Structures are given as C-alpha cells and as structure tokens.
Amino acid sequence: MRFRTNNSNLMLQRLLLGLMFASPLSAQDGQQLFTLYCSACHAADGKGATGGTFPPLAGSPYLAGDPDRAVKIVLKGLTGPVDVLGKTYNLEMPPQGATLPEDQIAAILTHVRTSWGNQAGPVTAGQVKSIRAAVADRAMPWTAPEILKLHPLPFEKTALTNLKSQVYKGEWKYLPDFAKLKAENIEEEHDGIISLTDSPYKEHYAMVWEGTFDAATDGDYYFRLDSAGAARIIFDGDILTELNGFGPMDGSRAQGDISTRTKGPHSIRVEYLQHTGAQGIAIGWKAPGSTEMKWLTDPPATVSKPRESILLAPNGNRPVIYRNFIDGTTPRAIGVGFPGGLNLAYSADNLAPELLWTGKFIDGANKWLSRGTDKNPPAGENVVTLSKKQNLPKEAKFRGYKLDPAGNPTFVIQLSPKRILLDSWSAENGALVRKISLIDASSNPDGTSEEPDSTVENPNWVEFSVCEEAIGDKMTVQMDGGPIRSSTGPMISIVKAGKQTTLIYRWKP
C-alpha cells in the first residue's frame, strides 16, 4: 500500500519539525510526527484511514504492553493477514525505520500508546536503539504470526467494568430470591470476566455478578447464554434471557436474544445456580452489525480460538492480574505479574501468597486455546513456595482484592466482623514488597474504643505466615528493615492492629 499527500505541504512540515526538534522530543512532538508519518494510513483519530481500510491504532492491542512489538513493526513494516479488534486486514505497511531516527520513533510511539484511550507506557529512544540493533539484519517486513510469537498480545479485557461477584451458599432448585439472602462472599472482579472460579464451592451455591456493560454504539446487541445450572441475564433491570433447570453446557440449552440499546453504560446482572455435578456458564455477545462473538465469561470449550492472548505480561508499568487455575497452588488463585519480571500467585483459599517466581509470568495459551480447566504453571524461573495451607484463624474470609492507581493489588481478608487484614504487594528495585496491616474498625483514631472487637476470640493482633516452607537458598526476606531467617521454615509472625509490617522478598543473585 502506498499513499501520497501534498508534497510541498509535507516539506514545509518537515522543515518546521526539524527546527522545533533540536531538543529531546516530547509526546506533543510525537503527535506532530504521527500526523506526518502515520496518519495518512492510520487516520488522525487513530481509527484507520479511508473508513477503516487500514487497521486502527486506537484500542489496538498491538500497541499495548511490551513496546518491542510496535517498535519492530515501525522499523521493518508488517505484511500479510493481521487481526486487529475483530477485523482481518491483509495489506502491507512499508518500513519506516530508514527515515525515522530513534528519538522520533520513540516520540511517535509514546504518543500513539497514550492517545485515544490507549493506556500503555512511554517508549524511550534507548529502547528503540537497542531493538534497532537487535533486528539490524532483517530485511523483510514482519508477518503477524512472527511478531506475535516474539511479543504476544496482552490480555484482552471484556466489555464489563465495575464487576462485582457475590456468592451465596445454600441448596435450591430454582434461582432463589436474592433480595432475601445475604452474600457469603463479595469480590471485585477487575478483569471483567464472569467466572465460576471465583466461587469457593463446587456445589449447592448460587452466584450473582453485577457490573456495567459498555455499549460502543447504538443498535441491536445479541446475547447468547449457555449454562450447566439455572441462569439468568438481567439487562437494565429487565430479564433478557433465562435458563431453568440443570443440564449439559453443550449448546443444547443455549438461548440467544437481541436487545436494542443506546450507546453508553448499561447495568448488567447475571445470576447462576449450581446444584451438583458439572458447573459452567458461558455468555457470548455480538455488537450491532458484527458477526464476531465476544465473551463476558471464559468461552466454552468448543470455541477454538477465543482470545488472541497467549503469553500474559504486565502492561508497561502496570501489573497484570490473572484469575484462573495456576499449577502449584489452590483452585482460587490470583496471579500477579509485576513489571520487572517479578510474579506472585496468591491463594484465595489459603489466604496467603503461595508462589513467587521471576521471569515470564504465565502462558495462557492452553487456557485460551483448549478446555477451560487446564492449569497453567508459572512460565518463569526461581519458583519459591511460601505457603501450602491456611494459617489464619479458620473464620477468616477472602474479600477480594483492590488495586491502587498504579495497579498494585491489596488482598482483603475479613478476620471477624470488624477486623480486616490488608495484604498489599508491589515490586520495587528488583524485590517484592509486602505490607501487612490489621485494621480494627471498632477502635477510633484517637485510641478510644467503642465496643471493643478485640476480645479473647478477636485479639487485636493476628499471626500470619511469612514463609511456611523453607525458602532455601533462593531468597532472603527482610522484615521491618531487619533480616529474618531465610533458609529454614516455618516462619510465622504477628501483626498488631494499627501497625504496618513491611516484608521484602528478594531473590539472591
């Protein structure tokens, strides 16, 4: 594909740019360089020129996460079929590497990775320089499969935001009247995926998810519900689709419905009832005029290639969260891949961090490409096991996790009605930093206590596990600035209400 613009205009712009860019380039300059070198094909609004003949950069997963992928495409071009946001293109992007110096490529990519709702991190001239050196021998443009093998796409989000799950324990034949029940467990589901793996039970329970469905355009939305248990989709307060009774989730019970909606946020509520035996729920949907099925749940097993993602990786400086089966820990584990190649699997069953490892996070390939029950092992090295059982008092309950503005998780554990344990994790200077605090909501900030919750049964301290297993010679652990025994386990410590304990887990060189 070639394109032409008004030549004298182009020269004037180049001249102006040359005058302006004697100093290091900023994102502002990136916008002007983008206009000059990319917008003829990708359009000023990043949606793809000539009504989408060219692929979009706005919302493109090719620009998310690891910047190497986009740098390599800009340097050497791209040819052959490529899927971007549900559409297949089969064109050719000419290499831009010969024309553009490293700082300009960095400025352009910083601009496109942070514009039109894209939320990836900045790119530096140094990064471009080292990638240019690494691919110097390559003459041909990349194909999409080649580039994806080197730099897999990060995890794709669903259309749901503000998703919350609630679990109810009980034995019912029909979906119960949830208004009369109290949820056992409420969690925020930051990945926007409706999943039964969020339930601590296998049978005799019900689940409700509530969230916001973001409709990108006005029109007719198609929803398809299939499930092994009774299930219901409630859209903007009205029942859209309902399946009664129990049966196989093989499509024979599935039901599809069309719903006309306006562009913007809509409330969605999904209810599910599990009796005994096989469990499962699959909700697919199609945007107005689209034939592509997208999923609000994990896709059913018969769908062979539901998501593009393979290797999961942090999105720039933001940790990536993975909610699914991880080998080596319990069924309800939360994987966190921090920037810098430090990884954590936190068990929501044992209420403790269980695995720490370095390098690659998790390879989601078998998860997305075959059955939903496969376990994915840590994809990296130096795996350290911190815990294998629950050490907190048995009444303790997992209450989900919260993310701070940088995307770092805090796991929330309720110890008793008024006592909450917060377990926060982040990666700093090549180490995992864990901050634990016990909040006693019965004591006031001034030190007075209304109805003391800290009784003999509910003391104002709790024991937690630093590393229950021997962590061997792989790692050192520091607590509140001082070293602790690192080669022998078990190692249990105490946190007092109102006081924060800081632990630093660092791999030995």
In whole angstroms, give the CA distance from residue 420 to residue 332: 20
Which string of DSSP letters, residue by residue, matches 238-301? EEEEEE-S----SSSS-EEEEEEE-SEEEEEEEEEEE-SS---EEEEEE-TT----EESBPPPT
Among 41, 281, 466, 475, binds ligand HEC (CB under 6 A): 41
Q: Which of residues 47-76 bind ligand HEC (CB under 6 A)?
A: 54-57, 60, 62-63, 70, 73-74
Q: In the sheet where 255-261 sits, what is the strand order?
A: 255-261, 219-227, 281-286, 294-295
In this structure, what are the phi and psi dihedrals at residue 171, rounded to the nearest 5 degrees?
-110, 115
Among 25, 71, 75, 78, binds ligand HEC (CB under 6 A): 78
Closest to ligand HEC by CB, 57 vs 475, is: 57
Among 59, 94, 176, 331, binds ligand HEC (CB under 6 A): 94
* Phi-psi category of residue 105: left, alpha or beta, with phi > 0 → left and psi -120 to 50 → alpha: alpha
Contact call for residue 281 and ligand HEC (CB under 6 A)? no
Q: How far is the CB of 241 from ligand HEC (least distance, A)?
A: 34
Contact call for residue 270 and ligand HEC (CB under 6 A)? no
Closest to ligand HEC by CB, 57 vs 466, is: 57
Contact call for residue 200 and ligand HEC (CB under 6 A)? no
In whole angstroms, give the CA distance from residue 364 to residue 366: 6
Q: Which of residues 109-128 bind ligand HEC (CB under 6 A)?
A: 112
Question: Which ranges constitute the DSSP H helices of 349-470?
Answer: 365-369
By C-alpha distance, which of 307, 171, 300, 303 is closest to 227?
A: 300
Q: How far is the CB of 156 from ligand HEC (least distance, A)?
A: 13
Both tokens assigned to 9 = 């205009």
Asked if residue 412 lies in contact with residue 420, where contact means CB atoms within 8 angstroms, the answer is: yes
Q: How far is the CB of 66 from ligand HEC (least distance, A)?
A: 12
Residue count, binding to ligand HEC (CB under 6 A): 31
Name residue 295's amino acid.
W
CA distances from 10 to 40, 123, 372 (A): 12, 25, 52
Map residue 174 onto helix, strand or coil: coil
Q: How far is the CB of 48 from ligand HEC (least distance, A)?
A: 7
Lookup result for tokens 């907190």? 392
Contact call for residue 333 and ligand HEC (CB under 6 A)? no
Q: How far is the CB of 8 from ligand HEC (least distance, A)?
A: 19
Among 17, 58, 91, 479, binds ligand HEC (CB under 6 A): 91
Contact call for residue 328 and ligand HEC (CB under 6 A)? no
Contact call for residue 93 and ligand HEC (CB under 6 A)? yes
Contact call for residue 503 and ligand HEC (CB under 6 A)? no
Both tokens assigned to 332 = 């309800």
Map residue 462 onto helix, strand or coil: strand
Closest to ligand HEC by CB, 75 vs 167, is: 75
Contact call for residue 304 and ligand HEC (CB under 6 A)? no
Contact call for residue 40 and ligand HEC (CB under 6 A)? yes
Among 8, 9, 90, 262, binds ligand HEC (CB under 6 A): 90
β pairing state of 409-416 and 397-403: antiparallel
Q: Which residues contact 292 (CB under 8 A, 6 or more apart)?
A: 86, 286
Both tokens assigned to 242 = 């309902």
Closest to ligand HEC by CB, 1 vs 441, is: 1
Q: Which of residues 1-20 bind ligand HEC (CB under 6 A)?
A: 1, 3
Among 38, 148, 386, 477, binds ligand HEC (CB under 6 A): 38
Q: How far is the CB of 155 from ligand HEC (least distance, A)?
A: 16
In whole angstroms, give the CA distance from residue 232 to residue 396: 31
Q: How far is the CB of 62 from ligand HEC (least distance, A)?
A: 3
Which string of DSSP letters, residue by residue, matches 198-238? G-S-SSSEEEEEEEEEEESSSEEEEEEEEESSEEEEEETTE
Closest to ligand HEC by CB, 45 vs 92, is: 92
Footprint on this chain of ligand HEC (rule: CB under 6 A): 1, 3, 37-38, 40-42, 54-57, 60, 62-63, 70, 73-74, 78-80, 82, 84, 89-94, 96, 108, 112
